[in-house]
Amino acid sequence: MVQHEVLDRAFAALADTTRRDILVRLGDGPATISELAETAGMTLTGIRKHVDVLVEAGLATTEKVGRTRQCRLGAERLDDAMAWISFYQRLWERRLDGLEAYFTLRNATPNDTGKDAS
């Protein structure tokens, strides 16, 4: 159940364009709340709410440095979400490969399968 909660928070956080943009920006290096707000064209309060969602999901961290709050990518970095996506990607690739093999055999002519035409 805990794993589902982690994934739910991560995917909910990623569902918003502004939060995805914040993660892209943090991929370039740390930024203050003020820098993020300026880039996004939002108020400090507005951007702080988005950052709080990212922190809750483990996708970002914040640290008070002097009078500013520094934001960085979280230690988890989407590892849980990527593992979940990779599992289902492999599952669907196997299923689609099996479906492709089925239709290839089904559509083969009798000479292709080595059977007699009679």
Note the pLDDT tens digit of each residue in 85-111: 888 888 888 888 888 888 888 888 666
How many Cβ atoms sit within 10 Å of the Cβ of residue 9? Answer: 18
Inter-residue contact 26 to 71 (CB < 8 Å): yes
Inter-residue contact 50 to 95 (CB < 8 Å): no
Instruction: Please report, rounded to a whole number, the percentage of residues in the chain having pLDDT higher than 90.
Output: 51
What phi, psi does 69 have (nearest 5°)?
-115, 115
Q: Is 114 left (phi over 0), alpha (psi -120 to 50) or beta?
A: left
Write the DSSP symbol of residue 76.
S
CA distances in angstroms from 112 to 98, 101, 109, 115, 118, listed in the order given: 19, 14, 5, 8, 14
- The overall longest dimension of the chain from CA atoms, in Å, is 87
Place of tokens 């996708």: 59
Q: What's the confidence (pLDDT) of residue 109? A: 64
Give pTM, 2 decimals. 0.70
Q: Is the pLDDT of residue 59 over 70?
A: yes
